[in-house]
Structure 1
Amino acid sequence: MVAYLAHVNVGVNRLSFNPWIATTLGLTVIFFSPILAVFVAAAEDSFGLWDHLFATVLPRYVVNSLVLMIGVGCTSLIFGVSSAWIVVRYEFPGRVAFQWMLLLPAAVPAYLIAYTYTDFLEYAGPVQEAVRGVFGWQSAQDYWFPEIRSMGGAILIMGSVLYPYVYVMARTAFLLTPKSLYEVGMLSRRSLFWSIGLPLARPAIAAGLALVLMETISDFGTVEYFAIETLTLGIFNVWLGMNSLAAAAQIAVFSFLFIIILLALEMIARAKRQYTDTTKKSISLSAESATGGVVILCWIVCAAPVVIGFLTPVSVLTSFVWDGHSLDLSKTVLEAALNSTILAAIVAILVMTAAGFFGFVSSFQGGAILGRLTAVASIGYALPGTILAIGVVTIAGVIDRGTSDALLKIFDMTWRGSIASGFGLVIIACVIRFQAVGYGAVMSGLGRLPGNMMDANLLLGHDFSAGIRRVILPLTKMSFVAGALLVFVDVMKELPMTLLLRPFNFETLPTYVYQYAKDELLEEAALPALFIIATGLVPVLLMNAALSKIMLKKT
């Protein structure tokens, strides 16, 4: 009865103008406008450049992007699914340690591992020097060594840092699969992995793989350093190298089709893939004790991705610092660290403020339609940073011109200020890009609250804002903290948008490391690179805590 009266009360209020919903709709338009701006910019005349690109380099961009996505996807599946099954299914020495160590590569940005492996494996690096010393070879003509700056090298490197997306999703799915289903497989003498575990985990694995592929197509640092011409690198080269925003936007629209296809494939993969466990309490399958050669195999499968994706690059960077490189914390380094921290903090605050507003209003004031609109406003995370940068610049340019024309017409004033450049533009782009991270954290917290909590607050005579401030916020504060930390870390690692949109003489830690790595001076930026990795360990710890909580509930 209480819930019904509250529902009637809310329904009556919705008949009048609701400033909360109106503001939410306005913010949704703002967040979605850069994506629409990309299509508007693409409609402009590129003066024949698009035809030239289509006839020459665009097919190569597409082929390289597809090969890279397929290769990284397969590598991530091999590393992620195999290691997830082993740590769930088998009990062996070191299992508990591997459960969280397999998450560590997620802390290393792909561009950093590309820089370190190039320095480690190139002709003048320690590995080839040791090979020449052992066999007495004098030059590169005396022997063959795989080229790290190649498509194969990029696939291995990116797969070794992106597989945790698949690992987390697969491990969670394996843990949540009820023991009763595995027991049915045992009775019918079926393979527990191929017949039970993998088919039931397929939707979760597909979701993790979609994230891997979206990160792959969004990558800039690795493909630029390895000179692999993908769609993302093509956008960057056409925009800055050929000074054509229209042509860059046209490539961006073409690249956007890849994102739509990936999202559609993920939805199709997850559609109608459900099972229901009717037991009172779902219990996970107990781990089987491994012995002999099985233990060694478990160690190899679990250690390989950790060694490739985390231990080797961190060891290389640490050795540079140990040898005395990069110990001088110059003014430039400190300014870059301060800029990164300030940028990440501001973006985290703005993202969580917007995400909280979207989440509260869509959950307690709007209906299903408003909920879908706020979810669409968070689509920026699915777009490569180069595409989003084009949209933000286009919108900022429109605002600049409109403001200048209005001031000139009304006040006869000439306005030379620019929104389309400066620190503020980087903030706007990052807020739109990482809105999905904060929104997901907020909605996760709200999903654990009773559905009639706000209704009870209204019946007690408190308005909506008081209910949010006094009831909802205290109960979801940990979700806000977790979301803010994740956004902070993502911004600290962000390279392409910062590189494209930063004002003159403005450096962050990623752009600082990028400049030195580009000049073959990675050892001079080793300490800032380790700072970035150390920051990336925060979400790793959060993911491990969440997975450990799931394990405790299922045992």
Structure 2
Amino acid sequence: MSAVDQQKILAPHGRRRTSHAGGGLFKTLSFGIALACLLPMVAVAIAALTGGLDTVTHLAETVLPRYLGATVYLVALVAVGTFAIGVGAAWMVTMTRFPGVRLFEMLLVLPLAFPAYVLAYAYTYILDHPGIVQSTLRDMTGWGPRDYWFPEVRSLPGAALMLILVLYPYVYLLARAAFLQQSAGAFLAARALGKTSLEAFWRVSLPMARPAIATGVLLAIMETVADFGTVSYFGVQTFATGIYTSWFSLGDRTGAAQLALCLLAFSLMLSVGERISRGKARYHQAGKQHAKMPPAELSGPRMIAAWILCGLPVLLGFVLPVVILFSMGMESEQNLMSRRYVQFIQNSLTLAGTAAVITVTAAVCLGIYQRLRPGRTSAWASYAARLGYAVPGGVIAVGLMVPFAAFDNALDAWMRATFDIRTGLLVTGSIWLLVAAYMVRFLSAALGAYEGGQATVHSNMDAAARSLGQTPLGMLRRVHLPLLTPSLLTALLIVFVDVMKELPATLIMRPFNYDTLAVQAYRLASDERLEGAAVPSLVIVAMGLIPVILICRQVGRR
């Protein structure tokens, strides 16, 4: 045997290298995680398809057309609104210069800290009939309640506006990054061919940024489809509200499963449709990346228009709601230091912290397995794990509750028949099943953050660690994790805040008498105690500001 062959097999100290030690563990864990992410979707499909045609026929004749129409209309409004605001603001701060542009670059991200349902509570407080806006209007004009028309905030367009104001930063961030990476060559060539700036933007810059913009709009659409708090509070009947009503109000689990299957199919259809529409199109940079186009200097009316375009989303999506919530909270009788609220905060932090650690651990297992064994198998596991983000929280909740409730009931029946012992709901009523739902829902976000950092670790570091006798587990512990600490912290923070804001899965799956800040805010708002709902809402927003501030710092560094 040659010296080279011996060097491939033996570590520097003469020990046989265990090239597969640890690799099998990551493979097993990755497949287990992928199957856990697929379980809710498979369970929903089985429960819906075995529920009989009577329920399907009844749903199709009664509520299904209404749910479908409202969901499609809401999605269309949010898609158009987030596209217009996100792309327009991104183009203004990237390709123009006016006083305050660098500040607007960061401020435009702030509405991302708000859950849409919190924004709905704030605007209902001031725009509803007894609110300050209409009350002031009646006092100034002397009109009665039937003497004037005022837009109804509790409506489908109102819900769409709330969602647009908090979701446009998805489009803004990705569009801004795409515009920054574009070269000036193609745009200037279009101008040289006689196109105006608007025509060059529409026919050159916008198509080149299409993949990033489409991703941002798709993220906004997925959040819209999954939203429950806003549409429920505004009385808009979508698939998300229909699932909750069927499960709790009507006690029809078969109907809830069939509605969940419809929503799942709708969500996956949107995701697949965007990929198909893109087809085999490829986008390449025209010219060198450093050949940047000089920004246009704005002054006079154009500068004022830029201020309005960039300032209005920040004002309506962050500044005004914060002021409203603070004024509401000051008028409420809720005490954050009371025993009840301390318990709400503790429950929220426990769920969010546990879910963040488990979800990021799962993301690390998937990421390291794909790095160790690149190929179709690892790619399939990663793709299956990412599907959860396209699945609304209500669908995941139903998909986990149905099989585990059947398991608990079967186990309880067997224990009573065999040992005369009642086991009750061991899994269904536990925190761990709720944490599993969070993991399935937000694993894609954690995996994206981890893989973004993992891409900066050169493969030569892996080879050096393996040549020194490190197993895959040792390489992960001694090389990857120390280098990827910032990415891991980012992933933990993203999942933590997402769990704090999550409402539908928490409402359906939480253990008895185990309420969180989001549940408390929803309950108070449902009872029309909006001043009280402002207090837990402010805590949720404060938590959401943490990752948004980090994003603002990254944006500020260009």
Q: Matched residue of 1:116: which SS? A: helix
1:251 aligns with 2:250: no
Give the AA of the match of 2:329.
Answer: V
- Cα deviation, 1:18-43, whole Å, max 9, x if unaligned, reads 33312322232123212211111112
The change in CA–CA distance for 1:321 and 1:244 in structure 2 (over 3 A counts) is: closer
Q: Is the 8 A contact 2:111 2:166 kept in 1?
A: yes
The change in CA–CA distance for 1:188 and 1:398 in structure 2 (over 3 A counts) is: same
Residue in 1 that maps onto 2:348 = 340
Give, in whole Å, the separation in 2 of the partners of 1:11 and 1:420. Answer: 44
What residue ranges of structure 1 are gaps of 5+ in the alignment? none
Residue in 1 that maps onto 2:72 = 66
* Number of positions where the alignment pairs a residue of Structure 1 with one of Structure 2: 549
The change in CA–CA distance for 1:363 and 1:289 in structure 2 (over 3 A counts) is: same
Residue in 2 that maps onto 1:156 = 161
Q: How does 1:31-50 map to 2 (within 5 A)?
A: 31-45=37-51, 48-50=54-56
Give, in whole Å, the separation in 1 of the partners of 2:332 and 2:392. Answer: 37
Instruction: Select the residue among 155, 163, 178 that pairs with 1:173.
Output: 178
Q: Matched residue of 1:275: which SS? A: coil
Q: Is the 8 A contact 1:206 1:270 kept in 2?
A: no
Q: Is the 8 A contact 2:81 2:164 kept in 1?
A: yes
- C-alpha RMSD of matched pairs (Å): 2.7
- What TM-score do the two structures reach when normalised by structure 2? 0.92
Q: How does 1:9-24 map to 2 (within 5 A)?
A: 18-24=24-30
Give the AA of the match of 2:65.
Answer: P
1:493 aligns with 2:501: yes
Residue in 2 that maps onto 1:525 = 533
Q: How does 1:140-155 map to 2 (within 5 A)?
A: 140-155=145-160
- 1:432 deviation in Å? 1.5
Which region of structure 1 is more displaced relative to structure 2, 154-163 or 455-464? 455-464
Instruction: Select the residue among 176, 183, 188 that pairs with 2:188.
Output: 183
Give, in whole Å, the separation in 2 of the partners of 1:11 and 1:271. Answer: 45
- 1:467 deviation in Å? 1.0
Give, in whole Å, the separation in 1 of the partners of 2:19 and 2:52. Answer: 50
Give the AA of the match of 1:372.
Answer: W
Give the AA of the match of 1:302.
Answer: C
Give, in whole Å, the separation in 1 of the partners of 2:355 and 2:4. Answer: 40
Q: Is the 8 A contact 2:331 2:531 kept in 1?
A: no
1:231 aligns with 2:239: yes
Q: Matched residue of 1:243: which SS? A: coil
The change in CA–CA distance for 1:7 and 1:439 in structure 2 (over 3 A counts) is: farther
1:389 aligns with 2:397: yes
- 1:335 deviation in Å? 1.0
Give, in whole Å, the separation in 1 of the partners of 2:242 and 2:339. Answer: 34
Residue in 2 that maps onto 1:453 = 461
Q: Matched residue of 1:449: which SS? A: coil
The change in CA–CA distance for 1:316 and 1:46 in structure 2 (over 3 A counts) is: farther
1:363 aligns with 2:371: yes
Residue in 2 that maps onto 1:87 = 93
Give, in whole Å, the separation in 1 of the partners of 2:424 and 2:530. Answer: 39
Q: Matched residue of 2:190: which SS? A: helix
1:25 aligns with 2:31: yes
What residue ranges of structure 2 are gaps of 5+ in the alignment? none
Q: Is the 8 A contact 1:364 1:454 kept in 2?
A: no
- 1:280 deviation in Å? 5.5
Q: How does 1:451-490 map to 2 (within 5 A)?
A: 451-490=459-498
- Cα deviation, 1:467-505, whole Å, max 9, x if unaligned, reads 111111111111100000000000111111111111222
Give the AA of the match of 2:83.
Answer: L
Which region of structure 1 is more displaced relative to structure 2, 167-176 or 421-430? 421-430
Give the AA of the match of 1:104.
Answer: L
The change in CA–CA distance for 1:133 and 1:497 in structure 2 (over 3 A counts) is: same
1:503 aligns with 2:508: no
Q: Matched residue of 1:18: which SS? A: helix
Q: Percent identity?
A: 36
Which region of structure 1 is more displaced relative to structure 2, 277-286 or 467-476? 277-286
Give, in whole Å, the separation in 1 of the partners of 2:52 and 2:124. Answer: 37
Instruction: Select the residue among 282, 290, 295 that pairs with 2:298.
Output: 290
Q: Is the 8 A contact 2:363 2:447 kept in 1?
A: yes
- What TM-score do the two structures reach when normalised by structure 1? 0.93
- Cα deviation, 1:498-538, whole Å, max 9, x if unaligned, reads 11111222111111111111111111232221111111112
Give, in whole Å, the separation in 2 of the partners of 1:421 and 1:436. Answer: 25
Give, in whole Å, the separation in 1 of the partners of 2:137 and 2:10. Answer: 78
